[in-house]
Chains A and B, each alone.
Chain A
Amino acid sequence: QKEVEQDPGPLSVPEGAIVSLNCTYSNSAFQYFMWYRQYSRKGPELLMYTYSSGNKEDGRFTAQVDKSSKYISLFIRDSQPSDSATYLCAALWNTGNQFYFGTGTSLTVIP
């Protein structure tokens, strides 16, 4: 079993839709959770960085962590064509340690 599981998609939505991206993880010791966005042929770009359970909001993006169910979510409101990218979730025990990525979900927002 992988440490972090993510549905690879692809996911296609119309512009303006609410997008829900999800990951599950197996290690209850994970404390830090991140979402990265990666455009084609580019390195990943950090979107959200959360510690432990709870929600964190930044503009149109909301990250949610439910440690009881080991579930990580990223919601994108009012999705835009520029949001089309691969979204990677990641988790780690503590800063400075190795962290584990999901395989990424490919998202296309259709104008």
Chain B
Amino acid sequence: GAVVSQHPSWVICKSGTSVKIECRSLDFQATTMFWYRQFPKQSLMLMATSNEGSKATYEQGVEKDKFLINHASLTLSTLTVTSAHPEDSSFYICSALRGGYGYTFGSGTRLTVV
């Protein structure tokens, strides 16, 4: 299959601190991974496209300095929410594309900033 592991699944942090979310492709190499954000009862909104070995491509309106993306290897992409604030509380989901399997999603990370 095509498995994407996302960690942590749930995190609470204090306002002003940073949180790192990891996304790993377990049984395949992913040159491209995608990061989404989902608010309650709303669909997924693409935040950025993460490319291995190069800078991420951010969607309009997404702050690059606040949402740091690093795709250091073919199996790992990380999203760091810097100086988190309560309005950053959301469900963050990564996905990766594997040929023949389509897009596979991680299980998501629920971030709560207090």
We find that the number of chain B residues with CB closer than 8 angstroms to chain A is: 22
A6 to B43, CA, bound (A): 10
Contact check: which of B41, B44, B107 meets A8 at CB < 8 Å? B41
A41 within 8 A of B: yes
Q: How many contacting A-B pairs (Cβ < 8 A)?
A: 47
Residues of A contacting B25 in the complex (Cβ-Cβ under 8 angstroms): none
The segment from A12-20, A44-52, A54-62, A64-72 found at the interface with B is A44-52
- Asked whether A103 lies within 8 Å of B103 as measured between CB atoms, the reply is no
Residues of B contacting A95 in the complex (Cβ-Cβ under 8 angstroms): 97, 99, 102
A93 within 8 A of B: no
With contacts A43-B93, A104-B43 known, is A99 near B103, CB below 8 A?
yes
With contacts A8-B41, A96-B32 known, is A43 near B108, CB below 8 A?
yes
- Asked whether A46 lies within 8 Å of B44 as measured between CB atoms, the reply is no
A101 within 8 A of B: yes
A41 to B44, CA, bound (A): 13
Q: Is the interface of B mostly helix, strand, loop or mixed?
A: strand
- Asked whether B107 lies within 8 Å of A42 as measured between CB atoms, the reply is yes
Question: What is the minimal beta-carbon distance from A1 to any residue of chain B, in angstroms?
Answer: 15
- Asked whether A43 lies within 8 Å of B6 as measured between CB atoms, the reply is yes
Q: Mark A89-102, 1 if CB is under 8 A from B, else 0.
A: 01000011011011
A-B CB contact pairs (8 Å), 26 listed = A8-B41, A32-B102, A34-B103, A36-B105, A41-B108, A42-B107, A42-B108, A43-B6, A43-B107, A43-B108, A44-B93, A44-B105, A46-B102, A46-B104, A46-B105, A49-B101, A49-B102, A88-B44, A90-B103, A95-B97, A95-B102, A98-B34, A101-B44, A103-B42, A104-B43, A106-B41
Q: 6 closest Cβ contacts across the A-B interface?
A: A43-B108, A49-B102, A43-B105, A103-B43, A43-B107, A101-B43
